[in-house]
Amino acid sequence: MHPTSLEMRVRRFAERVRTIKHVEQALALLNWDAQTMLPKKGVEARSQVIGTLTEQRVRLLLDPQLAEDVAALTEPEAAAQLDEPTREAVRLVKREIERRRAVPLELQRAFAELTTEAEAVWAEARKADDFARFSPYLERIVATVRTFADCWGYEGHPYDALLDDYEPGMTVAKLDALFRELRPPLEALLDRVREAGPVDAAFLRRAFPLDRQRAFVERVLVDIGYDFDGGRLDVSAHPFCTGIHPGDVRITTRYNPHDFVDAFFSALHEGGHALYEQQLPAEWADTPLGEGASMGIHESQSRFWDTFIGLSRPFWERYYPEAVDKFPEVLGDVSFSAFYRAINRIEPSLIRVDADPLTYQFHIFLRYELEKQLVAGELAVADLPAAWRERMRAYLGIAPETDADGVLQDVHWSAGLFGYFPTYTLGNLYAAQLHAAMHRDLDDMDARVREGDFAPIRAWLADRVHRHGRRHSPEALIAQATGEPPTARPFIAFLEEKVRDVYGL
Amino acid sequence: MHPTSLEMRVRRFAERVRTIKHVEQALALLNWDAQTMLPKKGVEARSQVIGTLTEQRVRLLLDPQLAEDVAALTEPEAAAQLDEPTREAVRLVKREIERRRAVPLELQRAFAELTTEAEAVWAEARKADDFARFSPYLERIVATVRTFADCWGYEGHPYDALLDDYEPGMTVAKLDALFRELRPPLEALLDRVREAGPVDAAFLRRAFPLDRQRAFVERVLVDIGYDFDGGRLDVSAHPFCTGIHPGDVRITTRYNPHDFVDAFFSALHEGGHALYEQQLPAEWADTPLGEGASMGIHESQSRFWDTFIGLSRPFWERYYPEAVDKFPEVLGDVSFSAFYRAINRIEPSLIRVDADPLTYQFHIFLRYELEKQLVAGELAVADLPAAWRERMRAYLGIAPETDADGVLQDVHWSAGLFGYFPTYTLGNLYAAQLHAAMHRDLDDMDARVREGDFAPIRAWLADRVHRHGRRHSPEALIAQATGEPPTARPFIAFLEEKVRDVYGL
């Protein structure tokens, strides 16, 4: 037998990977539809179809032919002949095959079933404020996740093995270092804000007609460059963004007549994710490179828009007069400065997703620490609600009366997503760092925002972040985009400036 | 090696078939979304995903293990031990495998590519009224379809091999016999109607506000029993029904402010398809039995509602007063009898989908005859436009000025659907036969319709048609439901009565 030619292996590899990506596109649509369009009697059948396609995807990934091609293309002599994107694609596929192979298929299937059931039980438990109903599931999930960590292996902390799924290359050691840098200045800022006392925001709860909220949201999305010819905006219980393909990136929001802020900033947040997905290189759409670099980098794109643009002075200097025009009966008597202070107010609260950019990070510190302890076997699930309350009190000075508003508030643990939470804070840090670098590069950035001209910003993000897809590690991407590896300093500086601006402190 | 147990084969067969059905569900959603929700920049990627999943479906179907299990379960000794639904499921899968295997994979792939391209070219050609642009594609399609017929084999006419895909068991001999019975009385009726002269229907083109059209359509759909908890109504360029699962059956219509009839009867038509899909046995959803029996039977369900209920006197005795309430400014001066005559008027027209129940059948006769000739090699594609005009003139006394309104009007041929058209007329015949049988069984049927109580009708259809899925051949199903094999007599009687009623002839 003569050896299979390199060219043929590359072609076969690309075809197989393309098939996998197409199954992923189908899954993305099945999931989007389940949250936006699916009639309730179709829910059960849908979850079965998603299960079957997920399994088919794994089958395609674990096909021996693909493994053989990947192995051959990883040989130094062969690898040297590949162009860099192909070499990177091979590396990413190899890594996923290895992680999949490391865990017995039986255990993967059992975990999929366990988390499907656990999500339903969690939803009921939260409704009934009954942690005891959920805890046996969480115990099994933690136990399985610990086994995963052992299967995958790690050098430092077992949590490293989990982190790597969401933020490739990130470790407990690196995270702890970043958080050590971040935390004391945030604590100091929070103390100062508390002393300043509350900011009035009651007018944000007035009646904002839904159709006008929708029109305002759509208009701003168009302004920032979200392309409706390659996407759509729908309504769902929890806002989200689904990038099916760079030409088909869908976002959702939710409208509450007594909350202008929720729909608007949710849409801006998802719009940020969507700009990333729409500006991913279309020529890599059928390869593993055509995706966001990591969960943290993805979150940096949504935070960039909702926090660093959407909460900024120049942004509202542009849009506040329009908002007043749109909602004269609710905002007519509210000054720019009152509005600006209200949306930027900092206030400890129980629910993570409602938190401001400062107190938000303490929600993450808490979850990260509890997850680390659970995964290390240093904390029992039964002790979780008490640990939650204790830390909330220590970090933010408040504690939930119910577990529904505490340990049961997030879906992540029921879905088995251990290692995910820290990427939210990383997203904030990356966004601040990108924002600061952009400010240096575009000297008239504030003026552009004030004019509603976001094209240079979008172009900068495309050039530094979006067009690279998953080609670089998050760490390398940030270093390359900003000239410095990930650091907490720009985010701290941003918050210090914000507190000065809003509270005059 | 000990022989594989029957039980294990049955289980493995069921699992494999379930996987195939789940891929079909995903494909159904991908197609539905492409026609209702998909942003335009996502169109190209979508067609690739649909191509990949279609190929994956074929791969699963042609897997040697499945073929082995099907062969083993078809052995008389094994088959005797199966319950009847399983035996039928095995038979249906065996039949599809055989038909797939009979055609070289290369040819199947080439045909898929050809028809994808041809559909796009056809759309352009129709727009430009340029048959010559489309004809090279149609020539290749006809040639391929003739090869398919040879691959599949046939006893009488090569067209039999194609028909079988849409109407299992149907042949040219049987169709010709039905059409011979049907045609002369229809010609006689058409002559009488022509002598009577035109009926005024100009008021149907007045302005009907869209939101009220939508509300009226939704209300009637709920009345006939379409379950919005297991479906949804959206808008698309061409109305259609997609049964993803009995719990997820979606329909579309289109609203034209100057055409009350189009949206309403389209919705009723698709609603009829949808009731069938919603009442299919859910326990067979993951087997080939959980589908409509044939295209003809499916069309009988849509025609039952749009023609036999929706055009009937008792129906509008119920709903016309409501329509006048809803649209007082447009229908306030229109009497019941004027309205009833207008929606039931019979009038030769160029476009099949706009035709009334009488002239519609001549559109089908024409297509059926041309298809037979093309497939038999008795008619060249180049001669098609002339043949079309000639027959239109002979059958309906009118001929299109443009090919866009003639031979280019339907998508079917560009999609390679030869053998499909006759099932439309079969649907009309089956519907009439079911309607007559139902009238005998439910003696107060008209009174029920007049009260808007469609539950007994729905139950009768569920019992006689829907709950059987694809378990019986269409012929057997109709015979069992009505006590008689398919016949044209009830449809002729229906039209004679309709002409008497509307034209007083």
Give the ipTM. 0.94
pLDDT tens digits along B422-459: 999 999 999 999 999 999 999 899 999 999 999 999 99
> Residues B24, B44, B155, B270: which is the catalytic one?
B270
Task: Delimit the CATH 1.10.1370.30 region(s) of chain B.
Answer: 148-505
Residue A299 labeled ligand binder? yes
505 residues of chain A, pLDDT tens digit each: 456 799 999 999 999 999 999 999 999 999 999 999 999 999 999 999 999 999 999 999 999 999 999 999 999 999 999 999 999 999 999 999 999 999 998 999 899 999 989 999 999 999 999 999 999 999 999 999 999 999 999 999 999 999 999 999 999 999 999 999 999 999 999 999 999 999 999 999 999 999 999 999 999 999 999 999 999 999 999 999 999 999 999 999 999 999 989 999 999 999 999 999 999 999 999 999 999 999 999 999 999 999 999 999 999 999 999 999 999 999 999 999 999 999 999 999 999 999 999 999 999 999 999 999 999 999 999 999 999 999 999 999 999 999 999 999 999 999 999 999 999 999 999 999 999 999 999 989 999 999 999 999 999 999 999 999 999 999 999 999 999 999 999 999 999 999 999 998 7
Q: How far apart are CA B239 and CA A27, in angstroms?
A: 26
In this prediction, residue B109 has a pLDDT band, given cuts at 50, 70 and 90, of: confident
In this prediction, residue B72 has a pLDDT band, given cuts at 50, 70 and 90, of: very high
Q: How far apart are CA A461 and CA A293, in angstroms?
A: 13
* SS3 track for B429-483: HHHHHHHHHHHHHCCCHHHHHHHCCCHHHHHHHHHHCHHHCCCCCHHHHHHHHHC
Question: Which residues from A are below 8 Å from B247, CB to CB?
Answer: 39, 41-45
Residue B269 labeled ligand binder? yes
pLDDT tens digits along B219-258: 999 999 999 999 999 999 999 999 999 999 999 999 999 9
Residue A435 labeled ligand binder? no
- With an 8 Å Cβ cutoff, is A22 touching chain B? yes
Strand order in the sheet with B248-253: B231-235, B248-253, B241-245
- With an 8 Å Cβ cutoff, is A108 touching chain B? no
Cα-Cα-Cα-Cα torsion A33, A18, A274, B235, nearest 10 degrees, comes to -40
In this prediction, residue B1 has a pLDDT band, given cuts at 50, 70 and 90, of: very low
pLDDT tens digits along B378-415: 999 999 999 999 999 999 999 999 999 999 999 999 99
Q: Which of A39, A42, A230 sits opposite B41 (nearest CB)?
A: A230
- CATH fold for domain B148-505: Neurolysin; domain 3 (1.10.1370)
pLDDT at A109: 87
A 186-245: CB under 8 A from B: 227-232, 244-245
Q: In angstroms, what separates the C-alpha of B230 from chain A's closest C-alpha? A: 5
Q: In angstroms, what separates the C-alpha of B298 from chain A's closest C-alpha? A: 21
Which amino acids of A are annotated catalytic? 270
Q: How far apart are CA A418 and CA B427, in angstroms?
A: 56
pLDDT tens digits along B151-162: 999 999 999 999
User: In this complex, do A227 and B41 lie within 8 Å of one another by their Cβ atoms?
Assistant: yes
Q: In angstroms, what separates the C-alpha of A132 from chain B's closest C-alpha? A: 33
User: In this complex, do A22 and B232 lie within 8 Å of one another by their Cβ atoms?
Assistant: no
Q: How far apart are CA B441 and CA B122, in angstroms?
A: 47
pLDDT tens digits along B288-344: 999 999 999 999 999 999 999 999 999 999 999 999 999 999 999 999 999 999 999
One DSSP character per residue, A138-149 reads HHHHHHHHHHHH
Alpha helices (H) along B225-312: 260-278, 295-303
Q: Closest chain A residue to B244 measured between Cα atoms?
A: A42
User: In this complex, do B22 and A53 lie within 8 Å of one another by their Cβ atoms?
Assistant: yes
pLDDT at B3: 63
What distances in angstroms separate CA A453 from CA A213, A233, A441, A450, B31, one per listed residue? 22, 22, 16, 8, 37
Is the CB of residue B347 less than 8 Å from the CB of residue B355? Answer: no
B270 classed as catalytic? yes
Is the CB of residue A74 less than 8 Å from the CB of residue A90? Answer: yes
- With an 8 Å Cβ cutoff, is B247 touching chain A? yes
Q: What are φ and ψ of residue A345, in 5° steps?
A: -65, 150
Is the CB of residue B311 less than 8 Å from the CB of residue B285? Answer: no
Relative to beta strand A248-253, strand B248-253 is unpaired
- With an 8 Å Cβ cutoff, is A18 touching chain B? yes
User: In this complex, do A22 and B245 lie within 8 Å of one another by their Cβ atoms?
Assistant: no
Q: How far apart are CA A197 and CA A503, in angstroms?
A: 9
pLDDT at B310: 98
- Whether B4 shows a pLDDT value over 90: the answer reads no
User: In this complex, do A46 and B248 lie within 8 Å of one another by their Cβ atoms?
Assistant: yes
How big is chain A, counted in residues? 505
Mutate to test the interface with A, among B245, B277, B287 (most CBs of A within 10 A): B245
User: In this complex, do B39 and A245 lie within 8 Å of one another by their Cβ atoms?
Assistant: no
- With an 8 Å Cβ cutoff, is B28 touching chain A? no
Relative to beta strand A248-253, strand A231-235 is parallel
pLDDT at A1: 41
- With an 8 Å Cβ cutoff, is B248 touching chain A? yes
pLDDT tens digits along B348-376: 999 999 999 999 999 999 999 999 999 99
